[in-house]
Each structure stands twice: as C-alpha cells, then as structure tokens.
Amino acid sequence: MISDSKKFERLRDEMVKWQIENRGITNARVLNAMRTVPRHYFVSDALVDQAYGDFPLPIGEMQTISQPFIVAEMTQALELKKDDRVLEIGTGSGYQAAILSRLVFRVYTIERIFSLYKKSRQLFDSLKYHNIVSRYSDGTIRWPGEEPFNAIIVTAGAPRIPEALVSQLAVGGRMVIPVGSPISQELVRLYRDEDGIHQSVLGGCRFVKLIGEQGWKE
C-alpha cells in the first residue's frame, strides 16, 4: 500500500478548500473528516495521482468512487450526530463509509459485488476503522436485526425510493438517495418525523445503477 505523506495531506487540504468549502459545504466535522481520510488508499495504484481530483474515478467492476464534492454534499445533508448508526447502500471502494465512520458511532455498509466487498473490508481493517460493519448482499432489501437507522445513504441511482429502506429509517432519521433514470438522477433528501416522511430535492447528480430487488434489474 502507498503510504500517507505530507504530499497527500497537502492534496487533501487543497481538495477541501477548493472543491468543497468553495462550493458551500460548511459543516466543520464533515470538512475535517474529508481532510483526514486518505482517499488515495481507496483507488488503484495506477490512479493514486488522480485521487484528489475533482471527479469520480473507476474502481473496477464498472463501478466508481464518487467525486469528493458529492461525498461531502451527501454527508452534510445527513446531519450526522456522534452517536448515530448509519446505513450505506453501495460500499464500492469504501471511501464514503470511511468518511462516515469518522463522524458517527457505527456504519453499516452493503455491497452487491463480492470483489469490492472483500477489498473494502480489508482496507477498513488495515486502517483500523473498526466501527464499520460490512455486508455482501442486495442493499435494497432489509438488513434484519440492525434497524432502525438514524441515517441512510444510497450511493447508486435508484428508479424509485425503495420501501425497504424507508421502513428502516428511525423517527428523526434522514436519508439521501439519487432517484431518476439510469443516466441522470435527482439527489433526494428524506426526513422522517412523527407525522411521516418529508422530501426535498438537493440537486442533479449522476450515479451508476442501484441493482436489486427494489432497484433496477440487471
């Protein structure tokens, strides 16, 4: 594994300043997590020099690690508290789960592609991110025994909001999910209170497909 160094620390500081703070992300804990997690560990050796660029990158299996800004935007929208339990659908490289793990009590992350599940698990262990629980499964169905979650983040584009996910959201819980067509989506934020579910749209986005029982068919 390529080690972290002053060079990468500087690249992270610049990423946070120019790509994230400059575009309106203000949550100090989110900014700090983005300054801390070594994003270059989550990409292949060939892409290390591009790890802090303002774009998504391929991670194999035709999947991507999201652009740093979208990671920050979705994380801020979850309004996380230190004792929250958060569910992520779409572990991918593991980068988003790693950011979440710096902010909350426990992260539960699900990936449907075995090689990505395995690689990200090894990385969490080597970085000693012990508050990440990972699972190889279809995240559009329930994770029995662990619900309800204080926050849910879906990092793949869904045709509609999966009922199984909404049903796992605690009262007071927040969820962000890209919803739309396979080529473009809207980032939707849900909030559950005693009266029910409230929805708002954060903006446009583009994610790979959420594939599963309550997502797209393969």
Active site residues: 66
Can residue 175 be called a binding residue for ligand SAM (CB under 6 A)?
Answer: no
210 in contact with ligand SAM (CB under 6 A) = yes
For residue 103, state whether it binds ligand SAM (rule: CB under 6 A): no
Task: Output the smallest distance, CB 189 to ligand SAM, in A.
Answer: 17
Q: Closest by alpha carbon to 52, among 19, 15, 18?
A: 15
Question: What whole-number distance in Å separates Cα of residue 216 and Cα of residue 194?
Answer: 31
How many amino acids of this chain bind ligand SAM (CB under 6 A)?
A: 26
- DSSP tag of 139: T
Q: Is 212 in the site for ligand SAM (CB under 6 A)?
A: yes
By the rule CB under 6 A, 69 interacts with ligand SAM? no
Q: What six digits make up the tokens of 150?
A: 């204080």
Q: What is the SS3 assignment for 79?
A: coil
Question: For tokens 């990409």, what's the residue?
Answer: 43
Q: How far apart are CA 94 and CA 39, in angstroms?
A: 10
211 near ligand SAM, rule: CB under 6 A: yes
Binding mask 121-140 for ligand SAM (x = CB under 6 A): -----------------xxx
Euclidean distance between CA atoms 7 and 126, whole angstroms:
21
Q: Which residues bind ligand SAM (CB under 6 A)?
A: 63-66, 89-90, 92-93, 95-96, 110-113, 116, 138-140, 155-156, 207-208, 210-212, 215
